[in-house]
Chains A and B, each alone.
Chain A
Amino acid sequence: MRLITSLIRRTVGRLSAGRRSRLAAPLVLLLGLLITGGMYAALSPASATKAADEDQVAKGRALFLVGCASCHGKNAEGITTVKGGQYGPPLVGVGAAAVDFQVGTGRMPLAQPGDQALRKAPVYDQDEIEALSAFVASLGPGPAIPEKSEYDYSKVSNEEMVRGGEFFRTNCTACHNFAGAGGALPRGRFAPSLNGVSAKHMYEAMLTGPQQMPVFSDQVLTPEDKLQIISYLKKNEATPAYGGFTLGSLGPVSEGLFAWLVGIGVLVGFAVWIAANPARSTRKKPTA
Chain B
Amino acid sequence: MSRTESVARTNGTKASKAAKPNKVGAAAEWADDRLGLATLAKKNLRKVFPDHWSFMLGEIALWSFIVLLLTGVFLTLWFRPSMVEVVYDGSYSQLRGIKMSEAYASSLHLSFDVRGGLLMRQMHHWAAMVFIAAMMVHLLRVFFTGAFRKPRELNWVIGSLLLLLGTLEGFTGYSLPDDLLSGTGIRAADGFMKSMPVVGTYMSFFLFGGEFPGDSIIPRLYTIHVLLIPGILLALIGAHMLLLVYHKHTQWPGPGRTEQNVVGYPMLPVYMAKAGGFFFVVFGVLGLMGALLTINPVWRFGPYNPAEVTAGSQPDWYMGWPDGALRIMPNWETHLWNNWTLSWNVFLPIIVLPGLMFTIVMMLPFLEQWITGDKREHHLLERPRNAPSRTGLMVALMTFYAILWMAGGNDILAIKLKLSINQITYFNRAAVFIGPVIAFFITRRWCISLQRADNDKLLHGLESGVIMRDAQGGYTEKHIPLPVDKAYTLTARARDEVYVPDSEADENGVNAPGARLNKLRSRFSRLWYGDNIQKPTKAELEEGHHHAELEEAHDAPLEGHAADGHQFDGRHDIEDEHLSRQHD
**Residues in A lying within 8 Å of B, measured CB to CB:** 115, 158-159, 161-162, 165-166, 169-170, 173-179, 181-188, 190-191, 232, 235-236, 239, 241-247, 249-260, 262-264, 266-268, 270-272, 274-276, 278-279, 283, 285-286
Contact = CB atoms under 8 A, between A and B. Distances in A.
Contacts of B137: 264, 268
Given A188-B420, A267-B60, A170 B308 contact: yes
Interface in B396-448: 408-412, 414-415, 418-423
A170 B9 CA distance: 80
B94 A236 contact: yes
Contacts of A174: 308-311
A250 B423 CA distance: 21
B14 interface: no
Contact of B305 (A169, A188, A278, A279): A169
A113 to B, nearest CB: 16
Contacts of A271: 53-54, 56-57, 59-60, 278
A260 B422 contact: no
A259 B289 CA distance: 9
A184 B97 contact: no
B368 interface: no
B316 interface: yes
Contact of A259 (B52, B59, B126, B302): B126
B307 interface: yes
B481 to A, nearest CB: 27
Nearest to B137: A264
A276 B54 CA distance: 11
B320 to A, nearest CB: 6
A182 B415 contact: yes
Q: Which 10 residue pairs across A and B have the least CB separation, nearest first? A: A183-B311, A256-B317, A243-B294, A251-B312, A259-B129, A188-B420, A184-B411, A271-B56, A184-B414, A275-B53
Contacts of B55: 275
Contacts of B59: 271
B111 interface: yes
Contacts of A252: 181, 296, 312, 314-317, 320
A170 B95 CA distance: 14
Which of A236, A250, A252 has the most B CB atoms < 10 Å from its CB?
A252
A239 B94 contact: yes
B270 interface: yes
16 contacts: A165-B95, A165-B302, A169-B308, A178-B302, A184-B421, A235-B94, A236-B300, A254-B412, A256-B317, A258-B293, A260-B133, A260-B317, A262-B289, A263-B130, A264-B133, A279-B270
Contacts of A187: 420-422
A242 B118 contact: yes
Contacts of A239: 94
Given A178-B301, A255-B317, A279-B270, A270 B289 contact: no
A112 to B, nearest CB: 14
A162 B5 CA distance: 78
A259 B98 contact: no
A232 B409 CA distance: 28
Contacts of B420: 115, 186-188
Given A161-B94, A176-B311, A286-B1, A246 B411 contact: no
Nearest to A264: B133
Which of A232, A262, A274 has the most B CB atoms < 10 Å from its CB?
A274
B129 A244 contact: no
A181 B311 CA distance: 9
Contacts of A178: 180, 300-302, 310-312
B311 A182 contact: yes
Given A259-B126, A278-B51, A190 B414 contact: yes
A190 B422 CA distance: 12
Contacts of B411: 183-184
Contacts of A235: 93-94
Given A169-B305, A188-B418, A255 B129 contact: yes
B376 to A, nearest CB: 28
B533 interface: no
B293 A251 contact: no
B312 A177 contact: yes
Interface string B284-324: 01100101111111011110010111111111110010000
B314 A251 contact: yes
B94 A253 contact: no
Interface in B53-68: 53-57, 59-60
B96 A173 contact: no
Given A183-B411, A184-B412, A264-B134, A270 B301 contact: no
A140 to B, nearest CB: 34
B282 interface: yes
A169 B180 contact: yes
A162 B273 CA distance: 53
B295 A243 contact: yes
B82 interface: no
A44 to B, nearest CB: 34
Contacts of B274: 274, 279
A242 B317 contact: no
Nearest to A266: B285
Interface string B163-195: 000000000000000001100000000000000
Contacts of B126: 259, 263
B117 to A, nearest CB: 11
Contacts of B299: 242
B524 interface: no
Contacts of B277: 274
Contacts of B412: 184, 250-251, 253-254
B294 A263 contact: no
B569 to A, nearest CB: 31
B111 A183 contact: no
Given A183-B411, A268-B57, A270-B285, 11 more contacts: A162-B98, A178-B312, A184-B411, A187-B421, A191-B311, A243-B122, A245-B292, A246-B297, A252-B316, A253-B409, A270-B281
Contacts of B212: none
Given A173-B310, A174-B310, A274-B278, A255 B296 contact: yes
Contacts of A182: 311, 415
Interface string B70-109: 0000000000000000000000011111100000000000
A264 to B, nearest CB: 5
B94 A241 contact: no
B310 A177 contact: yes
B265 interface: yes
A170 B57 CA distance: 44
Contacts of B130: 259, 263-264, 267
Contacts of B208: none
Contacts of B311: 173-178, 182-184, 191
Contacts of A279: 265, 270, 273-274
A162 B309 contact: no
A190 B59 CA distance: 42
A286 B294 contact: no
